[in-house]
Homo-oligomer: A and B are copies of this chain.
Amino acid sequence: MTLNKYLKIGVLGGMGPEASVAFYNRIIKLFQQEQGAQYNFEYPEMLIHNIPSPDNVEAGVEDELADYLLSSTRLLESAGMQLLAIPCNSAHVHIDKVTKAAQGKVMNIVEETAKVIHQSGIDKVLLLATKSTLKYEIYQPYLMRLGIEAIVPSASHQELITRSIMSVCDGSINNQTRNDIAKLVAAYSDAQGVVLSCTEIPLIIGQADLCIPCFDTAEILARATYEYCLNRN
């Protein structure tokens, strides 16, 4: 029924919902800006699943979150989606399970980000992430393989990052949140770059607020998904 030839994109979203809204918007903007899309049929077919999954910012849910992701994978693929993306870094603790269960391509935000950092030549980065992303060392193996060292924020800084992410999730984010995070980044003077390795963080802070190169994992995932969606052969 699709008029265009783009791959159909399934999104395992809602973790949190604000980041999924932003991901949907980023994909639309990429099609407008780089493909000149304006009519409905010039955009890809997408199915965005807002999953009411357990919290994965403050808590570190394991099996239950995996059940949600696998169930959503089945739902999206049954509906014909050919390419899956998860705009949530913490949920990537289960990326291998999702990739194994899926019939089609599953984008990996961590792998795509590590590639972009490597291409930039930077080899020491600060991770701004949820406690679970840090606790399960979701980034370290991918970075290490490419010779990139990861700096993990201190326990008190992890608390501040968590509070900031939750202010996006409950809609209470303000300018102070942005200032707090910028100040936190400045405290790690040996970092050559900073990875916004939670998809809520680009909703708080961006390159314009930081003095060192900034890797926006939400943007990197959107671009990688967009590219894959075009190069469907």
Contacts and interface: CB of A to CB of B under 8 A. Distances in A.
Given A17-B40, A24-B48, A38-B169, 7 more contacts: A1-B67, A2-B52, A16-B40, A24-B24, A47-B47, A47-B48, A48-B48
Interface string A61-93: 000000110010001001110000000000000
Contact of A1 (B6, B71, B171): B71
A55 to B, nearest CB: 4
B170 A46 contact: no
Contacts of A15: 40
A36 interface: yes
Contact of A52 (B41, B52, B169): B41
Contacts of A29: 171
Contact of A24 (B21, B39, B44, B47): B21
A40 B28 contact: no
A151 interface: no
28 contacts: A2-B52, A3-B52, A6-B52, A14-B43, A14-B45, A15-B40, A16-B39, A17-B24, A17-B43, A20-B24, A24-B50, A29-B171, A33-B171, A36-B170, A37-B170, A38-B166, A39-B54, A39-B169, A40-B54, A43-B50, A45-B52, A46-B48, A46-B49, A47-B49, A48-B48, A75-B79, A75-B80, A78-B78
A36 B170 CA distance: 7
Q: How many copies does the complex hold?
A: 2
Contacts of A25: 21
A42 to B, nearest CB: 8
Given A29-B171, A67-B1, A40 B53 contact: yes
A210 interface: no
